[in-house]
Amino acid sequence: MADRKRSSFSLALLAMAALAVLAIVAFAPEAARAQAMTYPQTTLEPKSEVARSIDEILDGIVIWVIVIFVLVEGALVVTVLRFRRRPGGPAAKPIHGNTALELGWTLAPAIILALIAVPTVKTIFANAKPTTGDITVRVIGHQWWWEFQYPGKGVLTANELHLPLGKTVALELESVDVIHSFWVPAFAGKKDLIPGRTNHLWFTPEATGTFSGQCAEFCGASHANMYFKVIVHTPEEFDAWVAQQKAPVPAPDSTSLAARGLEVYQKGQCVACHMIDGVSYGMLGPNLNKVALRQTIAGGMFPNDEKNMAAWIKNAPALKPGSLMMNMNLTDQDVEALVAFLRTRR
Ligand code: CUA
């Protein structure tokens, strides 16, 4: 009987030890990093000084958590082993508290919280320090897409924030409707876009490539469909991108399908909401001047190809709940012509 008890006890101990090892492996930052390689939208792969300062706080806290876990579980195991009830042993003696212990386990968490708070608050203040940066971009939140304006550069785009490598960008965050939150984990923490005020965020991209971000504040039916990309170029490539965005687009050949699409665009309701240089001046929807150069449409929901563009024009609310772009009941021929026209905007 006693033997069976002992073996089930050792089994429980073994299970606890295995759990402890699992917890340490699962929460160790390096393990998390390796896992993150297959999931690019992560705070664990910082690509700017701001994101790294936040990641370092997390690393520090994870170390504290591991130390506390080992100490508490260790004390638990020792207690279970040394003070468990033995056959023929004396009955347990009830006691009334222990002042030193009570003080200890009240003070220790307070000290640990203070040790976490000091670097956290320091980092918050350091990252909130105003900066003019090397380049300014106005970020405007809309239900449910992102507008990016480059003051002084005459560039206006949507759902794609293009930035030069190694230059500090100062973002001015605004909203035209409800509260959104700008979040691109590789570069910075979350910051709200609030109607009627301008919030600021800055960082310096340290790697070229495409990084994903999304809205991080519930903002209505398609909050979860409000994505964007940050595309970091070398400074030369960035200048070329700006030049390309500003280059005039020749009018479509008068006999082409695209010319017919331009007609549909001008006669229809498109002009009320969208902007195309020399054609229309709507500001409610995304600027379409260079729409064919973008990787995605519909607030980052779909790859920007002819099939998706046609489906989107045909019936946007069917693809994106709450979309403010109405179903305009266009014929398939009109949609096809519109797509042909929009493909020329590059
Ligand atoms: Cu915008 Cu959520």
Supply the pLDDT for residue 94. Answer: 83
Q: What is the pLDDT of residues 151-188, one digit of tens each?
A: 989 999 999 999 999 999 999 999 999 999 999 999 99
Query: Residue 139: CB within 6 Å of ligand 1?
Result: no
Q: What is the C-alpha separation between 201 and 192, in angstroms, rounded?
A: 10
Can you state the angle between helices 29-36 and 49-82, rounded to 10 degrees?
130
Supply the pLDDT for residue 138. Answer: 97
Separation of CA 192 and ligand 1 centre (Å)? 9
Separation of CA 174 and ligand 1 centre (Å)? 12
Separation of CA 270 and ligand 1 centre (Å)? 24
Separation of CA 172 and ligand 1 centre (Å)? 17
Q: What is the C-alpha separation between 137 and 175, in angstroms, rounded?
A: 14
pTM of the shown model: 0.82
Q: What is the C-alpha separation between 80 and 253, in angstroms, rounded?
A: 85
Give which of 171, 185, 186, 163 is closest to 140, Cα–Cα: 171
Give the H/E segment covering residue 203.
Answer: strand 199-203
Q: What is the C-alpha separation between 173 and 250, in angstroms, rounded?
A: 33
Supply the pLDDT for residue 337. Answer: 94
Give me the torsion for CA of 167, 168, 172, 175, rounded to 10°. Answer: 70
Q: Whose CA is nearest to atom 1 of ligand 1?
A: 180
Return contacts of 21-29, CB within 8 angstroms, 24+ apart: 23/69, 24/66, 24/69, 24/70, 27/62, 27/65, 27/66, 28/62, 28/66, 29/58, 29/59, 29/62
Query: Residue 180: CB within 6 Å of ligand 1?
Result: yes
Supply the pLDDT for residue 4. Answer: 55
Query: Residue 217: CB within 6 Å of ligand 1?
Result: yes
Separation of CA 224 and ligand 1 centre (Å)? 7
Can you read off the two tokens belonging to residue 15?
Answer: 């299970």
CB of 162 within 8 A of CB of 231?
yes
Supply the pLDDT for residue 130. Answer: 80
Q: What is the C-alpha separation between 10 and 253, in angstroms, rounded?
A: 83
Supply the pLDDT for residue 36. Answer: 33
DSSP three-state, residue 333 = helix
Q: What is the C-alpha separation between 95 and 166, in angstroms, rounded?
A: 64
DSSP three-state, residue 189 = coil
Query: Residue 226: CB within 6 Å of ligand 1?
Result: yes
Supply the pLDDT for residue 9. Answer: 61
Within the chain, residue ranges assigned H as helices are 2-27, 29-36, 49-82, 99-128, 235-246, 257-267, 270-273, 306-314, 316-319, 332-343
Supply the pLDDT for residue 37. Answer: 36
Q: Which residue has the tokens 């009987």?
A: 1
CA atoms lying within 13 Å on the CB side of residue 314: 13
DSSP three-state, residue 213 = strand
Can you read off the two tokens belonging to residue 204?
Answer: 């310096």
Supply the pLDDT for residue 193. Answer: 98
pLDDT in single tens digits along all 346 residues of the chain: 455 555 566 666 666 677 766 655 555 544 443 333 334 788 999 999 999 999 999 999 999 899 999 999 999 999 999 988 888 888 888 888 889 989 998 999 999 899 899 999 999 999 988 888 999 999 999 999 999 999 989 999 999 999 999 999 999 999 999 999 999 999 999 999 999 999 999 999 999 999 999 999 999 999 999 999 999 999 999 999 999 999 999 899 989 999 999 999 999 889 999 999 999 999 899 999 999 999 999 999 999 999 999 999 999 999 999 999 988 899 999 999 999 999 999 9
Separation of CA 217 and ligand 1 centre (Å)? 5
Give the H/E segment covering residue 136.
Answer: strand 135-142
Which amino acid is located at 157 in the chain? T
Q: What is the C-alpha separation between 38 and 25, in angstroms, rounded?
A: 18
For the CA of 178, the nearest atom of ligand 1: 1
Q: What is the C-alpha separation between 309 and 330, in angstroms, rounded?
A: 13
Separation of CA 222 and ligand 1 centre (Å)? 8
Query: Residue 215: CB within 6 Å of ligand 1?
Result: yes
For the CA of 217, the nearest atom of ligand 1: 2
For the CA of 224, the nearest atom of ligand 1: 2
Tell how far CA 147 is from the center of its chain.
Answer: 16
Q: What is the C-alpha separation between 111 and 89, in angstroms, rounded?
A: 39
For the CA of 179, the nearest atom of ligand 1: 1
Q: What is the C-alpha separation between 324 and 258, in angstroms, rounded?
A: 25
